[in-house]
Amino acid sequence: MRRKDWLGVLGFIAKLILGLLFISPLLVGLVFSFVPSRLLNNLPDLETVLGNLTLENYKWIMGYIPIFRFLGNSFVVCAVIIVVQVILSSFAAYAFSFFRFRGSKILFQIILIAMMIPAEVTVIANYLTIQSMNLVNTYAGLCAISLLSGTSIFMMRQSYMQIPRELKEASLVDGCSDMRFLFRIAMPLTVPAIASLAIFLFISAYNMYFWPMLVAQNTDKQTIQIGMAMLVGTENVEYGHVLAGAMLSIVIPVAAFIIGQDYLIKGMTSGAVKG
Amino acid sequence: MRKKRKQKPLPYLLLLPMVILFGLFTFYPFIRSIYLTFFITDPLGNPSSFVGFSNFERVFTDEGFVKSLVSTIKFAAMVGIGTFSVAIVLALLCMHPRRGSKIYQTMYALPIAVASVPVSALASYILSKYGILNQLLGIDIGWFSTEQTALIACAAVTIWSSVGTSFIFLLVGFRNVPEDLLECSRLDGAGPIRRVLNVVLPLASPQVFFVIFLNIVNSFKAFAIIKLLTQKGPNDSTNILVYAIYSNAFLRGRFETACVYSLVLCALIFLVTRVQLLCEKRMVYYQ
């Protein structure tokens, strides 16, 4: 028994070290974001790093880059996308799992086909649409193409199918209307699924790059990813600033991930694979 | 269903937003992309003159296109194999939940939360000519500016950022393998490697296939990493299709060429999903 305990502890330490090694790019970035850029062009030794720790890079970012504006824009976009997707995918899931109606099969096929067309393929034509609607550089344009996705509908449908049919019949008998059932009974029952979906959508919307890069052309609408990408692309790049910017941009999603990982994992893996 | 019952309008109303949104931002742009490939477009993306199939002819005979297609496939192969190999090792290590396993499990999955932009920012520092990796190895390769290494370096960065998701899917699959089956095979004298190959992998085959194909398809979409780290260079060696779509449409204003590239990308993704379905039908064991 003793020997087994020791092996367990050793295994734990080995896996922990492997984990630290795996996230070492993040750790390196975190430590060196507190080191002045001029020291980063050669690998500084530990003493130089510890002797020169400074908030200079972060101060520069706060002073010269409208980072709070970028973060604010990201939050507006995330909030709109999360609220609209949760509501609309609940609507769709409710319709498909509690009603029988003509054309339901075809409508369901529409989701499957839509999921097969990747966003990268439609991005050009979508940009042209947004441009012709005069929505370039607006929040509406930023959110427009992400207001609903097949994945969310599937995630919600998974949990709507678990609500017993009898519940609906009983509430109908008690005089509860269809919409009242949705808002008062079904949606509260699916709160765990909504939480999974919300975290999933938050991380993916916060991390969007391609679409916001095309649509948000001025600082007043640019999201955090676009703002941080501008730091990477400059000439005479100041790595201290780049790393500090990267760290500021990942704090929130990493925190959201660590707090909500159980929900996220459940949501990600529930609908995707049969088995 | 009973026919007498009146059709309620409610389900249609509930699905109306879905139909409008998919119609407007998925089906309409898809059809418009196809339509535009038959025209020469003006700088605003409106069709100006009909040219039939000559856009396809021009693109398919262009060396740059072939090179782009080859890079895309090489990139997909590297990302697919690399991510799967790393993720499966990590998932096997975490297969049995133990005290404290949540700590390292969270570390292995953490890249899920890190977007391509900060990943590229970190990579641009760590892999730069005078960056940490070269200093540690005592060499001075410009990983992103050398033609031979640029695509590999981009693939390595993509692999790091996609391992987390694959790890989670594989872990869920592995943990679903019944403990008593593993115990039985252990008593029958199967060593750890045999147990993984003959018990765990077949039982988790839905997740295994899903992960392999997910990474291939996601590698086709690795736009941010290419845009920020190499901008298709050096000598177009990292000009994967998704970047070619962007550069044709938004840097050169050739929307019709970009649409042809889009359709090729779409066909490629479609092909991969077909192969996935075929493989699943033949080889996946569902419990």
Average pLDDT across chain B, whole number? 90
Confidence of residue A271 (pLDDT cuts 50, 70, 90): low
Note whether A32 and A116 are same-domain residues: no
Q: Show the CA angle centred on residue A110, arms to residues B1 and A121, nearest 5°.
A: 175
Tell me the pLDDT tens digit for each residue of B119-135.
999 998 888 887 888 88
What angle, 0 to 180 degrees and rounded to 10, lies between the N-to-C axes of helices B101-109 and B147-175?
140
Res. B222: pLDDT tops 70: yes
Q: What is the pLDDT of residues A91-104, one digit of tens each?
A: 999 999 999 999 99
Token pair of B40, please? 């020469």
Task: Please state, in angstroms and rounded to a whole number, the distance separating the CA atoms of residues A19 and B35.
Answer: 50
**Last residue of one domain, picked from the residues A39, A59, A79:** A59
Cis peptide before A118 (omega within 30 of 0): no
Same domain, A34 and A134: no
> Based on the domain organization, do A35 and A105 belong to the same domain?
no
Are A134 and A187 within one domain? yes
Using a CB–CB cutoff of 8 Å, tell me whether A59 touches chain B.
no
Regarding whether A118 and A212 lie in a shared domain, the answer is yes
Per-residue pLDDT, A136: 94
* Same domain, residue pair A81 and A133: yes
Residue-range definition of the domain harbouring residue A95? 68-272
Same domain, yes or no: A36 and A79 = no
Q: Does B91 touch chain A (CB under 8 A)?
A: no
- Give the residue-averaged pLDDT of B210-219: 94
pLDDT band at A211; cut points 50, 70, 90:
very high
In tens, the pLDDT along A51-83 reads 888 899 999 999 988 999 999 999 999 999 999
- Residue B5 scores a pLDDT above 70: no
Give residue A194's pLDDT.
94
Contacts of B117 in chain A (CB under 8 A): 207, 209, 225, 228-229, 232, 246, 249
CB B166 within 8 A of CB B173: no
The more confident residue out of B153 and B283 is B153
Same domain, A55 and A100: no
B122–A207 CB contact, under 8 Å: no
B219 contacts B174 by C-beta, under 8 angstroms: no
Residues A15 and A135 in one domain: no
Q: How far apart are CA A118 and CA B87, in angstroms?
A: 25
Tokens 């929900």 — which residue? A263
- CATH class of residue range B61-283: mainly alpha
Which residues on chain B are in Cβ contact (under 8 Å) with A213? 227
What rounded mean pLDDT belongs to chain A? 90
Residue A272's pLDDT band (boundaries 50, 70, 90)? low
Cβ–Cβ gap A273/B270 under 8 Å: no
Amino acid at B284: V
Q: Classify burial at B287, counting beta carbons within 10 Å of its beta carbon; exposed 0-12, middle 13-18, buried 19 or more.
A: exposed
The pLDDT of residue A273 is 57
Cα A82 to chain centroid, rounded:
10
Identify the domain boundary among A41, A59, A77. Answer: A59
B267 touches chain A (CB under 8 A): no
B101 pLDDT higher than 80: yes
Q: State the smallest CA–CA distance between residue B148 and chain A in angstroms.
A: 22
* Interface list for B 226-255 with A (CB within 8 A): 227-228, 242, 245-246, 249-250, 255
pLDDT computed for residue A1 by the predictor: 56
Using the predicted structure, report yes or no on whether residue B32 has a pLDDT greater than 80.
Answer: yes
What value of ipTM does the predicted structure carry?
Answer: 0.89
